[in-house]
Amino acid sequence: MIEIRWHGRGGQGAVTSVEMLAMAAIEAGKYAQGFPAFGPERRGAPVMAFNRISEKPIKIRSGIYRPDVVVVLDPSLVGLVNVTDGLKPGGVLVVNTSKPASEIRKVLNYKGRLYTVDATHIAREELGVPIANTTMLGAVLKATGVLALKDLSAPLAERFGRLAIKNVKALKRAYDGVKTAQAA
């Protein structure tokens, strides 16, 4: 089982990302959960959302405290929220940022596996808005290999209708463009 924690700000679509990923995983024949950090919706405030994905039925219904993967949707959260809290040794951090990986490592004092991509830039170009949630799904797929790129098409089409093509394009650009920075 792989456990993923998403960090974003209210309104940036972290919950949509976990929905898309969970639905895509289930559609691909796996077992999955997608859920928000339970509570009221707060636009702009730091928020979290979670995924569990497994080959077997998932029984655990508590929160995720030791994730295998952490995804940071909003660049401004790096250094503001303790995004690496509980990240397993050997885990993966995937960050939306325009900054070099070395700078992220320094701010977070983080030496583990790191993937970076400027998803906001891609989202601006492809979608015309700085909302990077679907774009970041591409980076997550590349960083984790948890699903194939094509697995996301159906859930995105269902959710976004005619806008799905743009979202798929943004997602693919992030998939191709995400940079790995080997453990220091």
Partner 1 sequence: MGKRVGMEVGIAAAEAVALCNIDVAAVYPITPQSHIAEHLADIVHDGRINAEFITVESEHSSISACAGASAAGARVYTATSSQGLMLMHEILPIVSAMRLPVVMGNANRAISGPLNIWNDHTDIMPQRDCGWICMFAENGQEVIDMTIQSFKIAEHPDVMLPIVLNIDGFQLTHMIEPMEFPSQAQVNRFLPPRKPFVALHPDNPISMGCFNMPDIFTESMKAKETALRNSKKIIVKIWNEWGKLFGRHYRPVETYKAKGAKTLILTMGSMGETASVAVDEMRKKGASVGLVKMRLWRPLPIEELRAAIKGAKTLIVMDRAISFGGAGGPVATDIKSYLFQDKSRPRIVNYIMGLGGRDVTVDDFIAMTKKAAKKKEDTFEFYGVRE
- Tell me which residues touch partner 1 (CB under 8 A): 18-19, 22-27, 31-36, 38-40, 58-63, 65, 155
What's the closest the beta carbon of residue 166 comes to partner 1, in angstroms? Answer: 23
Assess contact for 98 and 121: CB atoms under 8 A: yes
What's the closest the beta carbon of residue 10 comes to partner 1, in angstroms? Answer: 15
DSSP code per residue over 86-143: TPPTT-EEEEE-SS-HHHHHHHHT--SEEEEE-HHHHHHHHHSSS--HHHHHHHHHHH
Tokens of 36: 């928000």
Of 39 and 90, CB closest to partner 1: 39
Tokens of 83: 């995004």
What's the closest the beta carbon of residue 15 comes to partner 1, in angstroms? Answer: 9
Of 78 and 146, CB closest to partner 1: 146
Of 40 and 90, CB closest to partner 1: 40
